[in-house]
Structure 1
Amino acid sequence: MFQEGALFPWLSARENVELGLRLAGMKGRADRRERAMELLGLVQLTDAAERHPHELSGGMRQRVSLARALAQDASVLLMDEPFGALDAMTRDVLHDELERIWFETGVTIMFVTHNVREAARLGDRILVLASRPGRVIAEYPVDLDRPRRIESPEVSALAAEVTDCLRKEVRRHAND
């Protein structure tokens, strides 16, 4: 799942999810329709099933993309900056939604973000990557109770620690 939803504009939300199911090898149009509606229910978009992407808000489009990604039934869900283009309020709502879906499905999520607070809010483990050469330079286990709030003192403290690590890395490469 990427920053931009990459939905097909000529397909409805349901049809976009059905396409994911079809590509995953699910046979039977009726079965795909039923499962697509279940997945749209999981992301709380049942009422928007017949809307096309241009009729949906940015947050709704991302939830359709999430439903389509979940349609693959993979053991790991890769999310690359999925909320980066969204406003802060929508992002906060989707953090809650993602956490709820994670609890319900148990799927492993690898979440790539440049937002340190977002990483502390959502993660069980934070890996800090260096750019030159690309490698892991630090790892932070996140042992905070859930649910977490992005503005909580614990999340803020962890975010400050990770940010300090990033600053040191930036300074190290300042003259490269």
Structure 2
Amino acid sequence: MTGAALTLSGCFYLSPDEVTSYNASDGIAANVGKVQLSNILIVTSAKGAEGSLYGTATNPTQEPVQLTVTPTGGSATTVTVPAATAVRLDGQASGNSTATAGPVKIAAVGAEPGASTQVTFATDSAGSVPVSVPVVLDSAPYGSASVSHATYEAPTSSAGE
């Protein structure tokens, strides 16, 4: 019994030192120099349709950073990420911060929902970082489309039945 306990306790010493990280969201995470990107994804209704970039850019430095976002086949958009602040790329305020950036729009998304497309993020100090970004359908919880359902109408009884 003691031998089994010692053998099993040895698993602790054989375990890896690092824990593998994963994205607990639909989007991806990436770093562009010191700027941290989290939950980055594109919302669109179809391939070739307009889309919006969602996610957060966090700048832990004491200086503002200019982040240039260039989707494949699209125009570059430059977003200012203030010092020691996180901003949402959809143009909304982040948490209790009043700082906003964007929104970052994509004229024609190059991939259908469920696939990924490349977006290049760049800063002056870090250069360009190409990232494969997932594309999701414009529906809840992202985007503005809402699901509609047929309404139920109770059958009417005819007289004499």
Give the TM-score taking structure 2 as reference length.
0.29
Q: Which has the larger strand fraction?
A: 2
Higher relative contact order (CA 8 A, sep 6+): 2
Q: Which has the larger helix fraction?
A: 1
The structure having more radius of gyration, on CA atoms, is 2
Give the TM-score taking structure 1 as reference length.
0.27
